[in-house]
Amino acid sequence: MSLFATPSGTDRYRQRFAASLSAEHFRAAQRLWMSSLGLGTYLGQPDATTDAAYQASVKRALALGCNVIDTAANYRFQRSERSIGAALKELPDVPRDEFVVTTKGGFVPFDGAMPRSQAEFQQYLNDTFINTGIAAPEDFVNGQHCMTPRYLSHQLNQSLRNLQLDAVDVYYLHNPESQFAAVEHDEFYQRLRTAFEFLESAVASGKIAFYGTATWNGYRVPTNSHEHLSLERVVQTARDIAGEAHHCRVIQLPINLAMTEAFTHANQSLNGQQVTLLEASAALGVTVMTSGSLMQAQLTAGLPPVVAEAFPGLATDAQRALQFVRSTPGVTTALVGMSNVAHVEENLALARTAPATAEQYLSLFSKA
């Protein structure tokens, strides 16, 4: 039995929906077929009610044609990973090779709940990482972000236990630009190289298939911003370790109606030319998944009429906002938080519709 999503498995999953969903709902990336909408698990209270709701959402999403599930160790203090793991355990009839699971490491995740005080925070840090020798105090930026190899190894293994999986398809460094609060760019890229060396070893040991960077500001800000990440340099760091056979193949960043920088801003250098992030990723063979597709529910209602005009035939503003993201050239999967079954059904109704045409999509920019 495969530990990962596979080309044949994801194609089998895609074929099951051939009669009911748009043919363009599934996109080929890294030799896999991935749904244009993916289930995100960031938001929600750290309680049993939300745990159960996410478990139901995961099962319903897989039943409706969503085969990309995204999470992170720190989402809901590890409870999102654990909810996904519980859901997948209850789905023995869904082969592991049919769906893609992505998670992230970097931020201190805590365990089930937020510490109630600074003293409790420090106690958790000491007991879990420092006193055990997993990390030194100076390894943490602002006391909350770390990407040393030993720390990442601990976090990856913990995520696998939470997810009840032997391997994940993508493991992201979570907001690595957080390190810029403490180090300059040359030191950052040295730390990145060390992290990537570990991640390549995790590929070799069969724990991950691909790795990458999940960012918030890094790929969106102007070139002269201190938080700016160069995708070309990130990929070159992986090439320096493993050559063209490197596994740094996926990135995640916010793209939505209010955050269009990846498509509109030429803030990436590629072979001496300034290009957009989406142009750079395509040239470098990097798959793009989006976070914040609904801007944490802020784009689910009250959109201007021009959006409905651009995307006719859709029932809700949430669907229109998602149609924008999944129709952005160069985007493989638009991740959207779906913590209850009703949201899963509303959002995945969009999978029956083809993405917007280039004319429809670009009309929003001409009317802006």
Mean pLDDT over 68-75 rounds to: 98
Looking at residue 92, what is its pLDDT?
A: 80
- Answer yes or no: is 161 within a domain: yes
Q: Is the pLDDT of residue 4 over 80?
A: yes
Q: How much of the chain exceeds pLDDT 70, in percent?
A: 99
Looking at residue 50, what is its pLDDT?
A: 97
- Answer yes or no: is 2 within a domain: no
Mean pLDDT over 302-326 rounds to: 95
- Answer yes or no: is 1 within a domain: no
Enclosing domain of residue 219:
7-366
> pLDDT tens-digit profile of 196-235?
999 999 999 999 999 999 999 999 999 999 999 999 999 9
Label residue 251 by pLDDT band (50, 70, 90).
very high
Looking at residue 1, what is its pLDDT?
A: 75
Residues 6+ apart with CB under 8 A from 243: none
- Answer yes or no: is 114 within a domain: yes
Per-chain mean pLDDT for the chain: 96
Looking at residue 368, what is its pLDDT?
A: 56
Looking at residue 297, what is its pLDDT?
A: 83
116 versus 325: the higher-pLDDT residue is: 325
Task: Please tell me the total number of residues recorded for the chain in this structure.
Answer: 368
Label residue 366 by pLDDT band (50, 70, 90).
confident
Q: Please report the beta strands in 120-167, taking only residues with DSSP state E, as ranges in sequence order.
A: none
26 versus 142: the higher-pLDDT residue is: 26
CATH of the domain at 160: 3.20.20.100
- Identify the weakest region by mean pLDDT among 91-95, 116-120, 219-223, 256-260: 91-95
Looking at residue 367, what is its pLDDT?
A: 64
> pLDDT tens-digit profile of 140-178?
999 999 999 999 999 999 999 999 999 999 999 999 999
Mean pLDDT over 111-128 rounds to: 92
Residues 6+ apart with CB under 8 A from 339: 41, 43, 44, 50, 53, 54, 57
Q: Is the pLDDT of residue 236 over 70?
A: yes
- Answer yes or no: is 350 within a domain: yes
Q: Could you give the CA distance from residue 299 to residue 165 in angstroms, rounded to a whole number?
A: 34
pTM of the predicted protein model: 0.97
Domain total for the chain? 1
E strand or H helix that includes residue 168: strand 168-174
